[in-house]
């Protein structure tokens, strides 16, 4: 709690001092305050999302953040379903399936807006047309329960997971819910083909939905090994004292970039812009790296020493357009092999 | 009736207009759209959606799974509910009031909460019971895997058997003992009497309880979503729900809803036929004596067995929910290190969805209960006093929504109210309509029973002494019906706050209710917050139950000492 207050204090003061073109900034904040709130559909882990919301509210009193957290695929479903009914509810859309943003852009549902400070981000973190930008990144890893599996026995590669000795001992999250997982599935399909998942399914995996959930399942001992999931949540769980160890397979780890964009029909456009800028500040990107264990595109962010740098990992990249094109194939073939 | 024909027509007009309007809004529009979408094609009516749905092996499997689930839940509910009812209605087992209280508690417990609790109890590896079993026996395998068809049948049954219990207990309370005694005098043993006399007399109630349980299992969404999806299988309801995932296949959802609708309607028809025959013997009137069967030395073992059974729906799940609410890690023992209030502070103060969801739930609960109670009181008064022509039809319409499972109703409402002229999706109104439709039959049944229990002669006496119908209504009928109306209100309220299967399809972020929030949290695996919200939901439910008990002056299930 104390750390929190200190953090918020630091943030507030940085923001207060750092706003050089104070005049323009004031007008923007006033306009945002008039709108009163920003509605954020986000696939960030719930505690992380609520934390960012609270930090924003502390920095800009009078503007509420309405956090609507669910899986990436559910967010896309929500946005499209609401469009169909002509409901304009969402301001800022943030999912872990980069393909969503290709689709949303094509359907003209995104506002062209470049958040302050993203110029310095690497090219892979930016939409070339300026509609969406990567807020955070994570990689998919294998994780195991250290009380149940020794480091010597633990799977080291993606293909180790196909060993029948793991039958009934594995858990996976679902590409029909999570963007982290849909990206993961496509990356491994590109590496090994669908045959990999067909074989993996022989090991009778437990199916959960969110890419965050396998961490809880492994920590509780319900299953020994998770075959996917964002490394950031494992990192957090491990820090909290759970018996979890992470394996970064040497064939490469699927990189998941999670873009964010403002809806073209945003009911609170000024608050949405202010909030988006806030999430790309160095301070906030640093928060995501420090306490959450996420990767970001911000060049000045320092990463915790107990976690590999993105540059030290062999990354498996997935093309956003490819992800968009094969969205339905990924979901339906996964269900075909795993049953639900 | 002494009133003239013309007058009768006049009076019935507003009732008819109101019923017709309600019917169109609540049932005809959603079901009509559902049917039309299921055969809708670019070029006129087509059966292509049906063909796609029924030719797909994965969907055939979902259909089959639902049949298996419903059948076994029906049988198991009878196996649990009937003996329990017999024990409390006919024997001198100690703690009959307590047993009835526990059955009632299981009746009102939201099944998806129970399913969630049983994940913590009987997850094959981390579940408490399995951990205990392994440490006691040294076995490698756990005792029971809740993520399986038997697991699902078990968890659904423990919250469904009260339907059988109610049917049987009420029937037993109406059957006099003289036939049984006659058999006993003629030399039949206790078992023979039970099998050859009692059983045939309660057979219609048994079958009817079986059908009710099957219907519950068919329509359930939450428990299958929590238990069958991790195991890699679908049921009809979870499959319909997943048709809404992007890219949406609403036509297929509509087509896949039809078998569920038909099955429900047929089963209810069958049940009505059975009950219509009114059993084989002395049912009707409370004439003869009901003699208590003495259990002798079996009294206490019987109570223990009952408590053992009731541990499954009540003691164990409630305990594990409470424990999870106060734990950092639910799978670890509740030591001082593992104790925390953080789940409460997170749920109530940091998680921004909680407060709006509780408010929405309360608002919808109160609104639906008020409007619903008003509506069913009006309808049941009109039908029980036969005040309008065609009152049987009104009664039928009020009970008809029973055949529509929540998910199917939601699909229909979604299709009907995401387009002009009534754009209700995105507002609380669409949830209100769903809840009103879903809860109307329960409220109507309760309210109808109330008016039937008030003899019309009192009203007639009032009329003879010169009171107008309104005056009689106010001074005689209303005071007598008051407690029954309150009970109807509470039944509707309890039904609304636990509703998940329709809400999960109809909510938008601004109109989330507690059950939807719990489901959201479940998908992310946030056990602590789910446990806290689960306790909130139980507290709301039992506060309402307490209100019913006070209003009725007897217990909730309608059984008496």
pLDDT digits (tens, 9 = 90+) for B348-385: 999 999 999 999 999 999 999 999 999 999 888 888 88
* Best residue in A42, A81, A179, A200 for a mutation probing chain B (most B CBs within 10 Å): A81
In B220-249, which ranges are continuous DSSP H helix? 222-227, 236-242
Q: Tell me the per-residue pLDDT of A162-208, one tens digit each, with 9 for 90 and over.
A: 999 999 999 999 999 999 999 999 999 999 999 999 999 999 999 99
Whole-number Å distance between alpha carbons of A225 and A218 = 6
Q: Tell me the per-residue pLDDT of B188-244, one tens digit each, with 9 for 90 and over.
A: 887 888 888 888 888 888 998 999 999 999 999 999 999 999 999 999 999 999 999
Residues of B in contact with A206 (CB under 8 A): 147, 230-231
Contact B524 A219 (CB under 8 A): no
The packing angle between helices B57-90 and B161-174, to 10°, is 40
Whole-number Å distance between alpha carbons of B412 and B394 = 22
Identify the weakest region by mean pLDDT among A300-314, B116-130, B443-457: B443-457
Assess B229–A contact: CB distance below 8 Å, yes or no: yes
Q: CA-CA distances (angstroms) from residue B545 to B61, B317, B365, B480, B493? A: 39, 19, 14, 20, 10
Assess B228–A contact: CB distance below 8 Å, yes or no: yes
Whole-number Å distance between alpha carbons of B257 and B240 = 7
Q: CA-CA distances (angstroms) from residue B408 to B270, B413, B414, B441? A: 21, 9, 10, 16
Residue B307, min C-alpha distance to chain A (Å)? 29
Whole-number Å distance between alpha carbons of B534 and B539 = 9
Encoded tokens for B537: 């939901």
Assess B241–A contact: CB distance below 8 Å, yes or no: no
Question: Which whole number is the average pLDDT over B283-290?
Answer: 53
Whole-number Å distance between alpha carbons of B133 and B127 = 10
Is B306 inside a domain boundary?
A: yes
- Residues B375, B261 within the same domain: no
Question: Which whole number is the average pLDDT over A110-135?
Answer: 95
- Residues B190, B261 within the same domain: yes
Q: What SS3 state is found at B464?
A: helix
What is the β-pairing status of strands A37-42 and A170-172?
unpaired
Spatial neighbors of A274 by CB under 8 A, at least 6 apart, are: A28, A29, A32, A38, A60, A63
Position B407 scores a pLDDT of 94
- The half-sphere exposure of B41 on its side-chain side, counting CA atoms within 13 A, is 10
Is B60 inside a domain boundary?
A: no
> Is residue B138 classed exposed, middle or buried when 0-12, 13-18 and 19+ CB atoms within 10 A define those classes?
exposed
Is B516 inside a domain boundary?
A: yes
- Residues B161, B212 within the same domain: yes
**Cα-trace Rg, chain B:** 25
Rounded (to 5) percent helix, strand, coil in chain B: 75, 0, 25
Encoded tokens for A292: 């959450």
Q: CA-CA distances (angstroms) from residue A297 to A229, A259, B145, B166? A: 20, 11, 44, 63
Position B481 scores a pLDDT of 87
DSSP for B91-127? B--S-HHHHHHHHHHHHHS-HHHHHHHHHHHH-TTT-
Whole-number Å distance between alpha carbons of B368 and B429 = 10
* Best residue in B121, B236, B246 for a mutation probing chain A (most A CBs within 10 Å): B246
Position B277 scores a pLDDT of 54
Higher-pLDDT residue of B504, B268: B504
Confidence check: pLDDT of B280 > 70: no
Assess B231–A contact: CB distance below 8 Å, yes or no: yes
Is B247 inside a domain boundary?
A: no
Assess B468–A contact: CB distance below 8 Å, yes or no: no
In this structure, what DSSP letter does residue B188 have?
-
Is B244 inside a domain boundary?
A: no
Q: CA-CA distances (angstroms) from residue B344 to A234, B307, B328, B429? A: 23, 31, 11, 30
Structural contact between residues B53 and B256, judged by C-beta atoms closer than 8 angstroms: yes
Contact B352 A66 (CB under 8 A): yes
Q: Tell me the per-residue pLDDT of A76-97, one tens digit each, with 9 for 90 and over.
A: 999 999 998 899 999 999 999 9
- Residues B305, B443 within the same domain: no
Of A39, A81, A220, the CB nearest to B126: A220
Q: Tell me the per-residue pLDDT of A273-308, one tens digit each, with 9 for 90 and over.
A: 999 999 999 999 999 999 899 999 999 999 999 999
Residues of B in contact with A54 (CB under 8 A): 350
Structural contact between residues B218 and B236, judged by C-beta atoms closer than 8 angstroms: yes
In this structure, what DSSP letter does residue A159 have?
G
Q: How open is the CA angle B145-B160-B394, to the nearest 5 degrees?
A: 150
Peptide bond into B421 cis (omega under 30): yes
Residues of B in contact with A39 (CB under 8 A): 509
Residues of B in contact with A215 (CB under 8 A): 525
Which A residues in the span 252-291 are in contact with B, Cβ-Cβ below 8 Å? Answer: none
Confidence check: pLDDT of B148 > 60: yes
Is B50 inside a domain boundary?
A: no
Contact A213 B351 (CB under 8 A): no
Contact B520 A69 (CB under 8 A): yes
Structural contact between residues B521 and B512, judged by C-beta atoms closer than 8 angstroms: no
Assess A208–B contact: CB distance below 8 Å, yes or no: yes
Structural contact between residues A40 and A70, judged by C-beta atoms closer than 8 angstroms: no
Contact A89 B425 (CB under 8 A): no
Instruction: Give B3's pLDDT tier (boundaries 50, 70, 90).
Output: very low
Position A217 scores a pLDDT of 97
Contacts A–B by Cβ distance under 8 A: 131
What are the residues facing A206 on neighbouring strands?
Answer: A171
Whole-number Å distance between alpha carbons of B530 and B527 = 5
Structural contact between residues B117 and B316, judged by C-beta atoms closer than 8 angstroms: yes
- How many structural domains comprise chain B? 2
Q: What are phi and psi of A225, to 5 degrees?
A: -135, 135
Q: Which helix (H) or strand (E) holds A73?
A: helix A72-84
Residues of the domain holding B234? 73-239+256-313
Instruction: Give B172's pLDDT tier (boundaries 50, 70, 90).
Output: confident
Contact B246 A76 (CB under 8 A): yes
Q: What SS3 state is found at A67?
A: strand
How many residues can be counted in chain A?
A: 340
Confidence check: pLDDT of B8 > 50: no
Contact B525 A217 (CB under 8 A): yes
Position A2 scores a pLDDT of 56
Confidence check: pLDDT of A16 > 80: no
Return residue ranges of chain A for CATH 3.40.190.10: 2-137+257-307, 139-254+312-338
Is B426 inside a domain boundary?
A: yes
| Percent of chain B surpassing pLDDT 70 | 94
- The half-sphere exposure of A128 on its side-chain side, counting CA atoms within 13 A, is 2
Q: What is the CATH number of the domain that holds B506?
A: 1.10.3720.10
- Residues B511, B385 within the same domain: yes
Residue B360: name the closest of B244, B238, B506, B486 by CA: B506
> Is residue B159 classed exposed, middle or buried when 0-12, 13-18 and 19+ CB atoms within 10 A define those classes?
buried
Contact A212 B126 (CB under 8 A): no
Q: Which residue of A has its CA nearest to B516?
A: A70
Strand order in the sheet with A206-207: A206-207, A170-172, A225-226, A142-145, A244-247
- Residues B282, B385 within the same domain: no
In this structure, what DSSP letter does residue A126 have?
B
Residues of A in contact with B526 (CB under 8 A): 46
Q: Which residue of B has its CA nearest to A80?
A: B246
Confidence check: pLDDT of A22 > 70: no
Spatial neighbors of B22 by CB under 8 A, at least 6 apart, are: B375
Assess B248–A contact: CB distance below 8 Å, yes or no: yes
Of B233, B328, B425, the CB nearest to A339: B233
Contact B509 A89 (CB under 8 A): yes
Assess B83–A contact: CB distance below 8 Å, yes or no: no
Contact A86 B520 (CB under 8 A): no
Q: Tell me the per-residue pLDDT of A217-268, one tens digit each, with 9 for 90 and over.
A: 999 999 999 999 999 999 999 999 999 999 999 999 999 999 999 999 999 9
Structural contact between residues B446 and B65, judged by C-beta atoms closer than 8 angstroms: no
> Which of A135-139, B91-95, B555-559 is modeled with the greatest confidence?
A135-139
Question: Which whole number is the average pLDDT over B519-548?
Answer: 94
Position B285 scores a pLDDT of 45
Q: Which helix (H) or strand (E) holds B291?
A: none
**Multiple choice CATH, A139-254+312-338, 3.40.190.10, 3.40.309.10, 3.30.230.70, 3.30.70.100:** 3.40.190.10
Contact A339 B230 (CB under 8 A): no
In this structure, what DSSP letter does residue A53 have?
H
Position A1 scores a pLDDT of 53
Residue B197: name the closest of B99, B285, B86 by CA: B86
Position B111 scores a pLDDT of 96
Contact B524 A210 (CB under 8 A): yes
Position A102 scores a pLDDT of 97
Confidence check: pLDDT of B83 > 50: yes
Q: CA-CA distances (angstroms) from residue B316 to B49, B127, B307, B313, B465? A: 44, 12, 11, 7, 59
Question: Which whole number is the average pLDDT over B467-493?
Answer: 87
Confidence check: pLDDT of B139 > 80: yes
Residues of A in contact with B132 (CB under 8 A): none
Of A78, A80, A216, the CB nearest to B527: A216
Q: Tell me the per-residue pLDDT of B394-408, one tens digit each, with 9 for 90 and over.
A: 788 788 888 889 999
Mean pLDDT, rounded, of chain A: 93
> Is residue A302 classed exposed, middle or buried when 0-12, 13-18 and 19+ CB atoms within 10 A define those classes?
exposed
Position B14 scores a pLDDT of 78
Domain boundary among B313, B333, B362: B313
Contact A77 B246 (CB under 8 A): yes
Position B454 scores a pLDDT of 83
Domain A2-137+257-307: homologous superfamily in CATH = Periplasmic binding protein-like II (3.40.190.10)
Which A residues in the span 172-201 are in contact with B, Cβ-Cβ below 8 Å? Answer: 176-177
- Residues B159, B302 within the same domain: yes
Identify the weakest region by mean pLDDT among A265-279, B107-121, B420-434: B420-434
Is B324 inside a domain boundary?
A: no
* Termini Cα distance of chain A: 41
- Residues B389, B533 within the same domain: yes
What is the β-pairing status of strands A206-207 and A170-172?
parallel
DSSP for B359-416? HHHHHHHHHHHHHHHHHHHHHHHHHHTT-STTHHHHHHHHHGGGGS-HHHHHHHHHHH
Q: Which residue of A has its CA nearest to B329?
A: A220
């Amino acid at each position: 709690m104390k750390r929190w207050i200190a953090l918020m204090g630091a943030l507030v003061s940085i923001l207060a001092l750092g706003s050089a073109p104070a005049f323009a900034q004031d007008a923007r904040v006033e306009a945002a305050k008039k709108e009163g709130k920003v509605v954020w559909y986000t696939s960030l882990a719930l505690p992380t999302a609520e934390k960012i919301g609270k930090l924003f509210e502390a920095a800009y009193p009078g503007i509420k953040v309405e956090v609507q957290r669910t899986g990436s695929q559910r967010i896309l479903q929500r946005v499209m379903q609401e469009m169909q009914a002509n409901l304009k509810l969402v301001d800022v859309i943030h999912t872990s399936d980069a393909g969503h943003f290709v689709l949303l852009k094509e359907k003209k549902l995104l506002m062209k807006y470049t958040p302050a400070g993203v110029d310095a981000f690497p090219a892979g973190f930016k939409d070339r047309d300026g509609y969406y930008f990567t807020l955070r990144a994570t990689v998919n890893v294998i994780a195991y329960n250290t009380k149940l599996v020794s480091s010597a026995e633990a799977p080291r590669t993606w293909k180790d997971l196909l060993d029948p000795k793991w039958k009934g001992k594995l858990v996976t999250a679902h590409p029909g819910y999570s963007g982290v997982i849909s990206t993961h599935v496509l990356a491994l399909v590109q590496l090994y083909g669908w045959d990999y998942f067909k074989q993996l399914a022989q090991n009778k995996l437990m199916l959960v939905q969110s890419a965050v959930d396998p961490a809880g399942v492994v920590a509780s001992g319900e299953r020994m090994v998770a075959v996917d999931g964002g490394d950031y949540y494992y990192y957090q769980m491990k820090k909290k004292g759970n018996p979890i160890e992470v394996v970064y397979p040497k064939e490469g780890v699927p990189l998941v970039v999670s873009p964010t964009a403002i809806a073209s029909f945003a009911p609170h456009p000024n608050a949405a812009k202010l909030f988006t800028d806030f999430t790309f500040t160095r301070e906030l990107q640093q928060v995501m790296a420090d306490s959450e264990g996420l990767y970001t595109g911000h060049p000045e962010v320092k990463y915790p020493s107990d976690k590999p740098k993105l540059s030290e990992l062999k990354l498996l990249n997935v093309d956003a357009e490819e992800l968009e094109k094969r969205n339905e194939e990924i979901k339906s073939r996964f269900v075909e092999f795993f049953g639900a | 009736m002494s009133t003239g024909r013309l007058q009768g027509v006049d009076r019935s007009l507003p009732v008819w207009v109101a019923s017709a309007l309600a019917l169109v809004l609540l049932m005809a529009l959603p079901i009509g759209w559902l049917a039309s979408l299921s055969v809708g094609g670019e070029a006129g009516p087509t059966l292509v959606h049906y063909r796609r749905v029924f030719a797909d092996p994965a969907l055939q499997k979902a259909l089959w799974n639902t049949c298996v689930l419903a059948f076994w839940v029906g049988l198991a509910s009878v196996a649990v509910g009937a003996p329990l009812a017999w024990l409390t209605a006919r024997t001198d087992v100690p703690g009959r009031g307590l047993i009835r209280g526990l059955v009632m508690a299981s009746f009102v417990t939201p099944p998806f909460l129970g399913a969630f609790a049983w994940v913590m109890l009987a997850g094959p590896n981390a579940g408490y019971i399995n951990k205990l079993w392994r440490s006691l026996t040294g076995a490698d395998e756990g005792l029971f895997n809740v993520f399986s068809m038997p697991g699902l049948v078990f968890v659904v049954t423990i919250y469904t058997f009260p339907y059988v219990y109610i049917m049987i207990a009420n029937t037993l309370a109406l059957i006099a003992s003289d036939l049984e005694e006659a058999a006993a005098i003629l030399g039949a043993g206790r078992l023979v009497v039970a099998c050859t006399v009692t059983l045939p007399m309660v057979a219609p109630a048994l079958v009817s309880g079986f059908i009710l349980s099957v219907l519950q299992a068919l329509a359930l969404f939450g428990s299958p979503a929590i238990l069958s999806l991790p195991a890699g299988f679908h049921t009809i309801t979870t499959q319909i729900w997943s048709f809404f995932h992007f890219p949406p296949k609403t036509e297929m959802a509509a087509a896949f809803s039809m078998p569920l609708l038909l099955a429900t309607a047929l089963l209810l028809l069958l049940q009505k036929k059975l009950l219509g025959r009114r059993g084989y013997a002395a049912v009707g009137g409370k004439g003869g004596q009901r003699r208590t069967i003495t259990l002798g030395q079996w009294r206490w073992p019987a109570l223990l067995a009952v408590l053992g059974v009731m541990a499954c729906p009540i003691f164990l799940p409630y305990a594990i929910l409470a424990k999870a609410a106060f734990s950092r890690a639910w799978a670890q023992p509740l030591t001082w290190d593992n104790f925390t209030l953080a789940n409460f502070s997170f749920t109530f103060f940091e998680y921004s969805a909680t407060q709006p969801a509780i408010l929405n739930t309360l608002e919808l609960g109160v609104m639906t209960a008020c409007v619903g109670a008003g509506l069913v009181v009006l309808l049941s008064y009109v039908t029980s006093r036969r005040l309008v022509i065609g009152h049987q039809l009104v009664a039928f319409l009020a009970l008809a929504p029973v055949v529509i499972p929540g998910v199917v109703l939601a699909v229909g409402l979604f299709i009907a109210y995401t387009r002009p002229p009534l754009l209700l999706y995105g507002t609380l109104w669409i949830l209100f309509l769903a809840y009103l439709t879903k809860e109307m039959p329960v409220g109507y049944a309760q309210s109808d029973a109330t008016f039937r229990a008030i003899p019309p002669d009192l009203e007639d006496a009032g009329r003879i002494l010169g009171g107008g119908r309104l005056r009689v209504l106010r001074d005689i009928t209303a005071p007598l019906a008051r407690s029954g109306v309150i009970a109807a209100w509470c039944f509707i309220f309890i039904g609304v706050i636990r509703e998940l299967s329709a809400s999960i399809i109809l909510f938008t972020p601004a109109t989330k209710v507690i059950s939807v929030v719990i489901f959201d949290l479940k998908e992310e695996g946030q056990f602590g917050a789910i446990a806290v919200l689960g306790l909130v939901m139980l507290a709301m439910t039992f506060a309402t139950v307490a209100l019913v008990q006070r209003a009725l002056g007897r217990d909730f299930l309608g059984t008496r000492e």
